[in-house]
Amino acid sequence: MPAAVGATLYVWSQKEILPADIGVAARTRLSMTGVDTGEYQMGRVLPEEQQTAVDVVLRVASEGQVPVEQVDLGEERHILGRREAHQKGWAEFPVLVAPDGTTLVGSAAFSEQAVSEVLARRGSPLR
């Protein structure tokens, strides 16, 4: 059986400030006003619609044994990736790119069937 060719999933996380003494389940979004650094910590989180789409991709990829690389363009180290996303006209995230260049853009496009079709595509990357 040939090795599966993977896809790339681009997401764009946002900064979130959380009280340092609570768990993830109890997190509350806070404004930057009046935040004391000793009581709060900074983290990155995906907006809910992106997280839902990511969950679909990871579930379908796991079932089909297709490797998926997740790239968070919200992280500072991805400056070139943000430029490339802008040049490609990606205004909504997440974006799933199959090895043959087929893409799903924006969380509304991420139905289980659409993700299955994209992950099933084979081909060489367009790079």
Q: What is the CATH number of domain 7-13+46-120?
A: 3.40.30.10
For 68-121, the pLDDT digits (tens) are 999 999 887 778 788 888 899 999 999 999 988 899 999 999 999 999 999 988
| Strand partners for 42 | 17
pTM score > 0.75 for this model? no
How far is residue 15's CA from residue 21's CA, in Å, rounded to a whole number? 18
For 15-65, the pLDDT digits (tens) are 877 666 655 444 444 444 444 445 666 678 899 999 999 999 999 999 989
C-beta separation of 100 from 122 below 8 A:
yes
N-term to C-term CA, the chain: 26
C-beta separation of 92 from 86 below 8 A:
no
- Residue boundaries of the structural domains of the chain: 7-13+46-120
C-beta separation of 50 from 107 below 8 A:
yes
How far is residue 58's CA from residue 37's CA, in Å, rounded to a whole number? 34
C-beta separation of 44 from 64 below 8 A:
no
Q: What SS3 class is residue 46?
A: coil
Task: For residue 5, give the DSSP letter.
Answer: P
